Amino acid sequence: MPTSGLPFKGQSCDSGPVRTISARSLALLLGSGPLPRPAYRGLADGIRRLVSDGRLLVGTRLPSERTLTTELGLSRTTVGAALDALRDEGFVATRRGSGSVVCLPAGPSGLALSQAGLIPTDVPPDVIDLTYAALPAAAGVTAAYERSLLELPRFLATAGYDPRGLAETRAAVAAWFEDRGLPTSPDQVVITSGAHGGLSAVLRSQLEIGDRILVESPTYPNALVGVRRSAYRAVPAQLTATGWDVEAIEVGLRQSGARAAYLIPDHQNPTGLVMDAPTRQALAGVLARANTVPVVDETFVELGLEDETTTSRPSPFAASSPAAHTLGSAGKTWWGGLRVGWVRAPRGGAEAVIEARHSLDLGTAVLEQLVVTDLLRQGESLLTERRREARSRRDALVTALRQHVPDWRLTVPSGGLNLWCELPEARGDELARVAESAGVRLARGGQFGVEGGFTRWVRVPFCVAPDEADEVGRRLATAWQLALGERPTTRDVTPLIA
């Protein structure tokens, strides 16, 4: 077997525990049709595509050349040449005695460039920023601030530090969970600096440096950054086109011994998938048996867009999982600038979260907690309008994309704020790189993957106003042409009229 000194500089192959794939499973992933000629190139392209799509995970050990030869009905020379090509491109590393392992090459689609999270930075005025999924403030937020200002003097005589959160805010969050059928005491609730602050505190309360955490792939990039920066090790749980593969997760837990699992069951970011009720129950059982703590992110739960009300959606994950820590947020429901979120801890579990929080921050702003209390108490009245607004943005953007980039494949999500689009070619990195010259800023698909990859995917949040959607579609079409290396004949970009 040819060997090389790989992994070479920048190449990323190690993602924790060793995974293997059988020749049979690899053949199934490659599909049953004949390979494009020459066959070695067809096989190499097929495997590279599986890596780019995130279906073949980095770190997976490939079957031996001999078993692949038998299973695929190809000659040993063809299989050997395909692996040689993949080694040359950096998608496979081979070590004598331990076989060939799937890698990502250094460079634009490699891990080094997929570490960054999504943090809004200054955007030139003529560029439309599609890197983050958040709407402008909901109707009713200003009025809630005005009412809360009248409440504030009650608190000005106190020190103002309260790492647990205001009693009335915790009670309002607990009542919101109760309305969703999940008995919750205010003592289980900690008010945090957004769901992100809640995630950091929960992980710190549950994990030690070096511990493994199961993470959906693709997932929310800032969560991945938090996991990596805290030196926990992310173990990918590949999402399928329809959602969560409970059996594969069970195997992943057994192999990795992950102590926690970060899940987004409601309008998953970026795919928009919703975990159905039987899967919630099955997964909760698997996690309980593995002694793995579910950390459930419900940031998008209120943004079900198909005439959904609080009672018409699947029960909260925690209803099937007494050990779950649930993260919530005011950020998508009402406004990201509130920077208010919450943790619903298991019974008796809030103290550990509060203690862990001390190394992160010392509490959440009082005025904003009052605003969120006010908004929570208004219940469905504001949410109906919020969902209508998000729905009209989604529908306008879907129409624009179907018109301007008809070969991008997208499934219209039933909620959340994201379109997860499959590109006809694995040129997502190029797309993100050139997008700004076409007047849009995009996140790379690789930012959503535990090990990068996802170069066939792009996330387009539907947060622009409906009357900007057509312009976004045009700019994305221009960017896509640039990414394909086909310079458009004219730069068909008109300035955005706000």
The binding site for ligand PLP (CB under 6 A) comprises 133, 194-196, 220, 264, 269, 297, 299, 329, 331, 336, 341
Structure tokens at 391: 């729905």
Structure tokens at 411: 């499934």
* Mode of pairing for the β-strands spanning 293-297 and 325-329: parallel
Q: Are the C-beta atoms of 104 and 15 separated by less than 8 Å?
A: no
Nearer to ligand PLP, 87 or 393 (CB): 393
Preceding omega of 218 cis (within 30 degrees of 0): yes
The least distance separating ligand PLP from the CB of residue 102, rounded to whole angstroms, comes to: 27
The DSSP code sequence of 390-415 is HHHHHHHHHHHHHHHSTTSB-PPPSB
Nearer to ligand PLP, 298 or 468 (CB): 298
Nearer to ligand PLP, 101 or 202 (CB): 202
Nearer to ligand PLP, 249 or 264 (CB): 264
The least distance separating ligand PLP from the CB of residue 331, rounded to whole angstroms, comes to: 3
Nearer to ligand PLP, 133 or 398 (CB): 133
Report the C-alpha gap between 432 and 444 in whole angstroms: 6
CA–chain centroid gap for 215, Å, is 9
Nearer to ligand PLP, 47 or 303 (CB): 303
The least distance separating ligand PLP from the CB of residue 244, rounded to whole angstroms, comes to: 15
The least distance separating ligand PLP from the CB of residue 335, rounded to whole angstroms, comes to: 10
In residues, how long is the chain? 498
The least distance separating ligand PLP from the CB of residue 145, rounded to whole angstroms, comes to: 18
Structure tokens at 169: 């805010």
The least distance separating ligand PLP from the CB of residue 485, rounded to whole angstroms, comes to: 32
Structure tokens at 329: 């947020």
List the helix and strand counts (H, then E) for the chain: 16, 15
Structure tokens at 480: 């896509």
Positive or negative, the CA dihedral 109, 111, 112, 114 is positive
The least distance separating ligand PLP from the CB of residue 270, rounded to whole angstroms, comes to: 8
Residue written as tokens 């205010």?
Answer: 186
Report the C-alpha gap between 373 and 45 in whole angstroms: 54
Give the count of alpha carbons within 13 A of 200, CB side only: 18
Nearer to ligand PLP, 35 or 296 (CB): 296
Q: What are phi and psi of 314, to 5 degrees?
A: -55, 150
Nearer to ligand PLP, 100 or 326 (CB): 326
The least distance separating ligand PLP from the CB of residue 330, rounded to whole angstroms, comes to: 7
The residue with its CB nearest to ligand PLP is: 194
